[in-house]
Structure 1
Amino acid sequence: MTAAATHQAEGNQAEQDILQVAREQVVERGVGLSEEQILAVLRLPDERISDLLALAHDVRMRWCGPEVEVEGIVSVKTGGCPEDCHFCSQSGLFPSPVRAAWLDIPGLVEAARQTAATGATEFCIVAAVRGPDKRLMSQVRDGIKAIADAGIDIQIACSLGMLTQEQVYELVEMGVHRYNHNLETARSHFPNVVTTHTWEERWETLRMVREAGMEVCSGGIVGMGESVEQRAEFAAQLAELRPHEVPMNFLIPQPGTPYEDFEIVEGKDALRTVAAFRLALPRTMLRFAGGRELTLGDLGAEQGMLGGINAIIVGNYLTNLGRPASKDLEMLAELQMPIKALSDTL
């Protein structure tokens, strides 16, 4: 056997061995894969994806159970953001068609009511800002109170950008139980995605949120020009953060943004990435979010639910349309995946 053939044989063996290692390490012991191991998973050939998805599903069932958390989101402040996140049509620095707009309190309450009607147990209030000012904090406070006064039985999460310590305490006092602030991508790739603030600033907000007792929700977007090595790096950094929830988004190229001509992530790569993140984060809620319809379609979404995903956003995604909530709820019913009860999220 030539040296090249020997190397290829050793490589093939290593590819198969990583799933054997993962079964013992992650399924049996609940220990997430290391960055090097995640990279080995991300390099698995296409013919191994079905085995990988089955393994990721076993991990999900073993450490998270069969239930799925359903969430709806609404933007209370859309567009006009001063940051230059290259993927985002809400940046006021790019010539995208999104313009600044505010949602009033009755509109916020109605959005919460409609979200609860789908069976969702989580409602996330989102704002396109660097961080909240007094006006926004006041509106969030009034909105949360109005939702409670309307008798809408749903948990409230927020995504309002970077926070001060005082604002963290304010949100806790308002009853916000989970805070979303995505790291977006690997630390090494972040300067290529955002230049108006740092990865470390985002990390600091998440640290304060965790220490204040709120649940931490932090994920990112796959397909922003990162290398496969950086995808592994990102998964390992999220594992270090130990978030309660990780939203998995796939880039939707937005007109007028620097990423408008980026290619959509291929379905197989998306599924491979979802499974790899599950093996890195065996106990974390892994949520299908933006771009899954475009990248995976209906069949791929079902494969993802059977490949490690155990939470889902229903309806629309801020400035992008999702598919009807009824479609996702039908899919969960067909897959015999029960929706997580509200009492279980307390």
Structure 2
Amino acid sequence: MTAAPDQDVTEQEPAADILAVARERVLERGEGLTEEQVLAVLRLDLDRLPELLGLAHEVRMRWCGPEVEVEGIVSVKTGGCPEDCHFCSQSGRFPTPVRSAWLDIPGLVRAARETAATGATEFCVVAAVRGPDARLLSQVREGIRAIRESGNDIQIACSLGMLTQAQVDELVEMGVHRYNHNLETARSHFPNVVTTHTWEERWETLRMVRDAGMEVCSGGIVGMGESDAQRAEFAVQLAELDPHEVPMNFLIPQQGTPYEDYPVIEGKEALRIVAAFRLALPRTMLRFAGGRELTLGDLGAEQGMLGGINAIIVGNYLTNLGRPAEQDLAMLADLKMPIKALSETL
């Protein structure tokens, strides 16, 4: 007579549902998911996307609140960058249509005024460089002074590449309150995206910025050939950095770059990625940035605002067109999401 099989061997406990795990860990305790858990969310069946987005929105509302920070950006130095970031049309190493140009001080003041007029509370000055030289820092200093003398009290952030400690200290002295320097992608994938500098160099700049008391803004671009596992890796690496803000960009294939023929991420997948990052970063400002119009369209943008996003860039993105600011502000009004007041960002 054959013995009955050992139940302890043949019967196993069913795996815990990842959204139930996330509800208890993230929504109830405010703790971000682990890398393995983020990966499980990224592999969740798209049939459960509405449930996932609903949970991500609950997390955003509980740990960040209903307000949305609105930001405009302007390029003070466009094109001619010596680095080989494979996604970027501003690299001087690729045959792209973008040509090197500088924005003068009156143009910078005008851009800040137009940004403030949209209701934005944040204005980011961006330059396509490896790192700032004396000329660029002098122009940023003069620009900030001119913006203040014009009576505009909008908060000013900068994105000027990799910094030295002396440059960090100089930006603090200028009154720059937030610094953007994207890690771009997971550490394991970075050498496939950039070869002229390292992920660790970017991390060191962000460490100095944080230690100097400026707010840290660091995110990246999704859709550059990374795997789901590398997206999960990236999410927890950002969580380790503990940034104030994470911009979520989706690849816009740029003419002349190595990524010009890469496919655009499908909208539902993009929304699943946004929600997964919210569950990894429950207390962090998560900002819709470049590529959302191409990837998500109008309806997707609204779904993203109800799926974990709580900040948005209005207007254009450096070398790419965005939606009119009025359209995004109308969307926020329809969703009854208040714009974060300037006094609350001081």
TM range (shorter): over 0.9
2:238 paired residue number: 238
One-letter amino acid of the structure 1 residue matched with residue 85 of structure 2: C
How far did residue 180 of structure 1 move? Answer: 0.0
Q: Please identify the structure whose Cα radius of gyration is greater.
A: 2
SS where residue 232 of structure 2 aligns?
helix
User: In the alignment, does 2:176 pair up with 1:176?
Assistant: yes
2:223 paired residue number: 223
Where does structure 1 lack aligned partners over 5 or more consecutive residues? 1-9
1:211 paired residue number: 211
2:6 paired residue number: none
Q: What per-residue deviation string (whole Å, max 9, x for no partner) do you get for residues 279-312 of structure 1?
A: 0000000000000000000000000000000000
Task: Normalising by structure 1, report the TM-score.
Answer: 0.96
1:323 paired residue number: 323
Q: What per-residue deviation string (whole Å, max 9, x for no partner) do you get for residues 220-273 of structure 1?
A: 000000000000000010000000000000000000000000000110110000
1:4 paired residue number: none
1:24 paired residue number: 24
User: In the alignment, does 2:78 pair up with 1:89?
Assistant: no
1:37 paired residue number: 37
One-letter amino acid of the structure 1 residue matched with residue 304 of structure 2: G
Question: Which whole-Å CA distance do the structure 2 matches of 1:215 and 1:79 have between them?
Answer: 26
2:254 paired residue number: 254
Question: Which whole-Å CA distance do the structure 1 matches of 2:89 and 2:32 have between them?
Answer: 34
Question: Which whole-Å CA distance do the structure 2 matches of 1:45 and 1:320 have between them?
Answer: 32
SS where residue 156 of structure 1 aligns?
strand
1:297 paired residue number: 297
Task: Normalising by structure 2, report the TM-score.
Answer: 0.96
Q: What per-residue deviation string (whole Å, max 9, x for no partner) do you get for residues 66-85 of structure 1?
A: 00000000000000000000
Pairing of 1:7-86 with structure 2 (within 5 A): 14=15, 17-86=17-86
1:310 paired residue number: 310
How far did residue 320 of structure 1 move? Answer: 0.1
One-letter amino acid of the structure 1 residue matched with residue 326 of structure 2: S
Question: Which whole-Å CA distance do the structure 1 matches of 2:35 and 2:238 have between them?
Answer: 11
User: In the alignment, does 2:199 pair up with 1:202?
Assistant: no
One-letter amino acid of the structure 2 residue matched with residue 202 of structure 1: R
SS where residue 138 of structure 1 aligns?
helix
1:335 paired residue number: 335
How far did residue 166 of structure 1 move? Answer: 0.1
One-letter amino acid of the structure 1 residue matched with residue 211 of structure 2: E
User: In the alignment, does 2:124 pair up with 1:124?
Assistant: yes
Give the count of matched residue pairs: 336
How far did residue 210 of structure 1 move? Answer: 0.1
Segments of 4+ moved more than 6 angstroms:
none
How far did residue 146 of structure 1 move? Answer: 0.3
Q: What per-residue deviation string (whole Å, max 9, x for no partner) do you get for residues 181-214 of structure 1?
A: 0000000000000000000000000000000000
CA RMSD of aligned residues (A): 1.2
SS where residue 286 of structure 2 aligns?
strand
Question: Which whole-Å CA distance do the structure 1 matches of 2:30 and 2:323 have between them?
Answer: 34
Percent identity of equivalent pairs? 84
Question: Which whole-Å CA distance do the structure 1 matches of 2:59 and 2:343 have between them?
Answer: 24
How far did residue 153 of structure 1 move? Answer: 2.1
How far did residue 28 of structure 1 move? Answer: 0.6
Question: Which whole-Å CA distance do the structure 2 matches of 1:345 and 1:60 have between them?
Answer: 18
Question: Which whole-Å CA distance do the structure 1 matches of 2:139 and 2:312 have between them?
Answer: 27
One-letter amino acid of the structure 2 residue matched with residue 290 of structure 1: G
Question: Which whole-Å CA distance do the structure 2 matches of 1:244 and 1:109 have between them?
Answer: 26
One-letter amino acid of the structure 2 residue matched with residue 113 of structure 1: R
One-letter amino acid of the structure 1 residue matched with residue 180 of structure 2: N
Question: Which whole-Å CA distance do the structure 1 matches of 2:332 and 2:127 have between them?
Answer: 29
